């Protein structure tokens, strides 16, 4: 039996956001394939989950340990970091308590693999090397510095832009330096793997995209017979989501209201800010955090994802495609997903293109539904969680 320790930087529950979906969509099928998977996770102040007992959805784990980690953004720490060479992004996840918990787990277990779910866990590699013979696998959900590079590029000139550029350069140096420390690099997409290879990675690698259990996704095809309605869902404490949504509301929605005044736009997401909850924009309905993301997505034929920053793969796009929704997103939003414009999804990188794609969906509901069906077929073929886990397990055995 292969024994795997999975390290995660936030408690992977509720299984709503991309990171939690990615973590569980791999750990659960690995256990079904006969592996013993243990979880050591941070329970951070930013994404704290208060639990009295382990949620049933995490019952596949052999053991779970959660360590409280204070990763809040602190002005004084951020200021003092200016006078060091370290990455402030990374240092917020360095914890003596987590280090001790990891060391204890390594000493009492003979793990075959320690699987790091994000670059922010790389500071713990020396602890793993010192106390275990396990192979170290970096499952990279993103090219991390690329996210912040894109955010800084989209930030207006001024102190904040210069500060973000400094943090991005430090994060990039850290990310490149860590590439020499992995026994295996499991990138989230072919595109990300090529980026890492360009940055100097030459070791063993494979692609492990976010997987889905398709029997859990039942499309609501009847929604295409109703008047067109748009949706957006995503974590609204993640800067790229907020950036894209603000742009859509300011640059797209006013013109859409002129051309299609009866259209409605439904917004949902964790940590919805007050400015959005209190907005009174005509035709816009803000739902806040919804109890069931799939049910929310399934109500509306078209999901828009106006993303101009970020990296990796968007789980909510995968879920919407699995539910047969017509997804309209940017080229950046579609990175890592081999979908074709006009066949599986619609791509729009400008305000004019978004308005045109919304107009096409409005006038051609049968076309929209066909793209939704094509999208679901694509996800079924390429993103089945069990198939992805089988490939990863074979790499571990090799």
Q: Which residues contact 213 (CB under 8 A, 6 or more apart)?
A: 25, 384, 385, 386
Helix residue spans in the chain (DSSP H): 18-32, 75-81, 88-91, 96-108, 125-131, 144-153, 159-178, 190-198, 239-247, 253-259, 274-277, 293-299, 315-322, 351-363, 365-382, 385-397
Q: Which of 229, 79, 64 is nearest to 166 (CA)?
A: 79
Give pLDDT, residue 378. Answer: 97
Q: Which residues contact 124 (CB under 8 A, 6 or more apart)?
A: 7, 98, 99, 102, 116
The list of the chain residues with pLDDT below 70 reads none
Domain ranges of the chain: 3-211+384-397, 215-382
Q: Which of 192, 89, 200 is nearest to 141 (CA)?
A: 192
Q: Which of 157, 59, 149, 47 is nearest to 92 (CA)?
A: 47
- In this structure, are residues 11 and 41 in contact, taking their beta carbons and an 8 Å threshold? yes
Give pLDDT, residue 275. Answer: 94
Give pLDDT, residue 82. Answer: 76
Query: Partners of 146 in the beta sheet?
Result: none
Give pLDDT, residue 74. Answer: 85
Name the token pair of 63. Answer: 């053991």
CATH architecture under which domain 215-382 falls: 3-Layer(aba) Sandwich (3.40)
Q: Map tokens 């790229």 to a residue.
A: 240
Same fold, 3-211+384-397 and 215-382: yes
Give pLDDT, residue 77. Answer: 81
Give pLDDT, residue 309. Answer: 85
Give pLDDT, residue 283. Answer: 96
Topology of domain 3-211+384-397 in CATH is Rossmann fold (3.40.50)
Give pLDDT, residue 188. Answer: 93
Cα 170–173–179 angle (5° rounding)?
140
Q: Map tokens 């993301």 to a residue.
A: 293
Give pLDDT, residue 102. Answer: 98
């Amino acid at each position: 039996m292969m024994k795997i320790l999975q390290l995660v930087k936030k408690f992977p529950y509720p299984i709503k956001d991309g990171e939690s979906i990615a973590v569980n969509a791999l750990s659960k099928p690995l256990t079904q394939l006969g592996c013993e998977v243990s979880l050591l996770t941070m329970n951070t102040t930013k994404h704290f989950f208060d639990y009295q007992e382990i949620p049933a959805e995490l019952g596949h784990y052999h053991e779970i340990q959660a360590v409280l980690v204070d990763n809040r953004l602190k002005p004084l720490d951020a200021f003092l970091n200016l006078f060091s060479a370290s990455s402030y992004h990374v240092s917020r996840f360095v914890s003596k308590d987590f280090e001790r918990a990891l060391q204890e787990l390594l000493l009492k277990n003979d793990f075959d693999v320690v699987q790091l779910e994000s670059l922010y866990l790389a500071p713990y590699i020396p602890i793993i090397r010192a106390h275990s013979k396990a192979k170290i696998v970096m499952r990279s959900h993103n090219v991390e510095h690329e996210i912040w590079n894109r955010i800084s590029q989209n930030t207006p000139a001024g102190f904040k832009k210069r500060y973000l550029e400094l943090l991005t350069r430090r994060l990039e140096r850290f990310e490149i330096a860590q590439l020499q420390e992995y026994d295996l690099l499991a990138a989230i997409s072919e595109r990300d793997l090529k980026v890492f290879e360009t940055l100097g990675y030459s070791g063993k690698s494979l692609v492990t995209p976010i997987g889905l259990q398709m029997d859990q996704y039942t499309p609501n095809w009847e929604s295409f017979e109703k008047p067109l309605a748009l949706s957006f869902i995503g974590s609204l404490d993640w800067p790229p989501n907020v950036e894209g949504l603000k742009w859509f509301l300011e640059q797209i929605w006013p013109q859409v209201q002129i051309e299609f005044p009866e259209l409605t736009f439904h917004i949902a997401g964790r940590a919805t800010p007050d400015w959005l909850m209190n907005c009174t924009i005509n035709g816009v309905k803000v739902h806040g955090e919804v109890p069931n993301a799939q049910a929310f997505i399934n109500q509306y034929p078209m999901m828009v994802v106006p993303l101009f920053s970020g990296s990796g793969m968007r789980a909510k796009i995968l879920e919407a495609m699995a539910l047969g929704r017509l997804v309209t997103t940017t080229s950046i939003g579609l990175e890592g997903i081999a979908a074709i414009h006009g066949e599986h999804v619609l791509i729009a990188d400008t305000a004019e293109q978004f308005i045109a794609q919304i107009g096409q969906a409005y006038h051609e509901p049968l076309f929209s539904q066909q793209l939704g069906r094509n999208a679901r077929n694509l996800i079924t073929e390429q993103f089945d969680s069990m198939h992805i886990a089988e490939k990863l397990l074979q790499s571990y055995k090799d």
